[in-house]
Amino acid sequence: MAAVIDEADPAAELIFDWNEVNRRGRPLPPSFTIFDETMRDGLQNPSIEDPRVEDKLRILHLMNDLGIDGANLGLPGSSNRAFEDVLYLCKEVVACKMKIQIAAAGRTVVGDITPIVEISQRAGVKLGVYAFIGSSPIRQYVEQWDVGLIAKRSAEAIDVAVSAGLPVTYVTEDTTRSRPDVLTTLFRAAIDHGATRLCLSDTVGHATPDGVRNLIQFTRSVIAGTGADVGIDWHGHNDRGLALENALCALEFGADRVHGTALGIGERVGNPPTELILLNLRLLGQLGADRDLTKLVQYCEAVAGAFKWEIPVNYPLVGKDAFRTTTGVHAAAINKAMQKGDAWLADRVYSGVPAGMFGRKQEIGIGFMSGASNVSTWLRERGIEPGGGLADAILQAAKTTRRILTDDEIMAIVHRERGH
């Protein structure tokens, strides 16, 4: 029996969503924010090229256009070029009255914090400070630090930023392998000295979703004990391949800000991909339709070009094959949806991610697993009628190959068959 379709809400009848059956957890914090680390953690990837400041500027504008809430502009204390780039970007934020909140990072060393203060003053912008220091036992052992020294250095660095009127996020590196008693001491000291956010860092990609839950619940308890109004950031890495899942879980478990980078580019195997965080939040109904995500592909391509990064063809959303099929059965179903004149249907019948929602479209190619629907759809999309044996000639050529026919190869057959 054919389904009866509610035109106002076709998804209700055409898609049964097992994701929503006995869905765990509570709604996400209403004021959660997305923080982009592309120009800080992304630049720490060993295979990228440091972009020109003009490219960084374009990326920052795209972040702002996408409604990304905040961005880390870099480590200005690391080099003269880094300092000048961060200053240039800050001035652009002011000149263009961008909505995006900006920050810069530094070690909990006064010498790393003072360049951030200087940039803030010269650009006339309240630049957030992300001050970081290692907190795990393994890091303490290697560095020969004790908790007292870590707390002292942290307090000194936070004091410099706070005295300059800058908001401070205190970042404990390797939080996911740090002891509760050490974290309690450091968190309380940071809050006492004026830090307004705590960043929980899965620096080496150690955490599982259970670890994310346990750590965030612990941190919320410590904060509650201080009586302060302090936010919680989650900063993850992808060494176990869990970065995206952990970022989404962090919001569910009570973090109110999660970090990501474009295409997941970052230290070693990288971070949660910002574009996939946004994609999943939209599909989970946590981002309103008023937020235009059609520039996500531009954002990723701009980063890939500036960083000299190659996007895998099978990468979700942005990869060449993300919305492309050459399989006959798939193409036939998409073609039938198109023939109904139903773009909504065509975009979902063989895709869990609607391409049009994010500025792309379904693509049908022709190859050794294709059928007549592939050929007729490909031709008609280009204003070419498939009759007169043309479709058969193209399909016969495709069946003799071990790969997908290129557009030029298909058009060569069209010209040959039509006598051009």
CB atoms within 10 A of CB 308: 11
What is the rounded distance in angstroms from the CA atom of residue 228 to the CA atom of residue 194?
10
DSSP assignment of 252-302: HHT-SEEEEBGGG--STT---BHHHHHHHHHHTT-S-TTS--TTHHHHHHH
Looking at residue 6, its pLDDT comes to 54
Tokens 């970081």 belong to which residue?
Answer: 132
> 358-381: string of b/e by CB count within 10 Å (b at 16+)?
bebebbbbbbebbbbbbbbbbbee
The pair phi, psi for residue 284, each rounded to 5°, is -85, 0
Could you give the residue ranges of the DSSP H alpha helices within 124-205? 137-143, 147-163, 180-192
Measure Cα distances from 376 to 22, 193, 226 in Å: 43, 68, 67
Q: How confident is the model at residue 1 (pLDDT cuts 50, 70, 90)?
A: very low
Maximum distance among all Cα pairs of the chain, rounded to whole angstroms: 84
pLDDT tens for 211-224 read 999 999 999 999 99
What is the rounded distance in angstroms from the CA atom of residue 25 to the CA atom of residue 249?
9
Looking at residue 17, its pLDDT comes to 84
Is the model's pLDDT at 20 over the cut of 60?
Answer: yes
Return the minimum-mean-pLDDT range out of 3-12, 19-28, 262-271, 364-373: 3-12
What is the rounded distance in angstroms from the CA atom of residue 163 to the CA atom of residue 169?
14
Is the model's pLDDT at 302 over the cut of 60?
Answer: yes
Q: What superfamily would CATH give domain 27-307?
A: Aldolase class I (3.20.20.70)
Q: Read off the pLDDT of each residue in 231-249 and give the average, rounded to a whole number.
A: 98
What is the rounded distance in angstroms from the CA atom of residue 148 to the CA atom of residue 23?
43
What is the rounded distance in angstroms from the CA atom of residue 157 to the CA atom of residue 194?
11
Residues forming CATH 3.20.20.70 domain(s) in the chain: 27-307
Q: What's the pTM?
A: 0.94
Q: Read off the pLDDT of each residue in 307-314 and give the average, rounded to a whole number.
A: 98
pLDDT tens for 348-405 read 999 999 999 999 999 999 999 999 999 999 999 999 999 889 999 999 999 999 999 9
Characterize the bridge pairing of strands 231-235 and 197-201: parallel
pLDDT tens for 113-170 read 999 999 999 999 999 999 999 999 999 999 999 999 999 999 999 999 999 999 999 9
Measure Cα distances from 247 to 36, 145, 253, 261 in Å: 13, 30, 10, 12
DSSP letter, residue 183: H
CA 323 to chain centre: 19
What is the rounded distance in angstroms from the CA atom of residue 134 to the CA atom of residue 136?
6
What is the rounded distance in angstroms from the CA atom of residue 216 to the CA atom of residue 400?
57
Looking at residue 25, its pLDDT comes to 61
pLDDT tens for 52-109 read 999 999 999 999 999 999 999 999 999 999 999 999 999 999 999 999 999 999 999 9
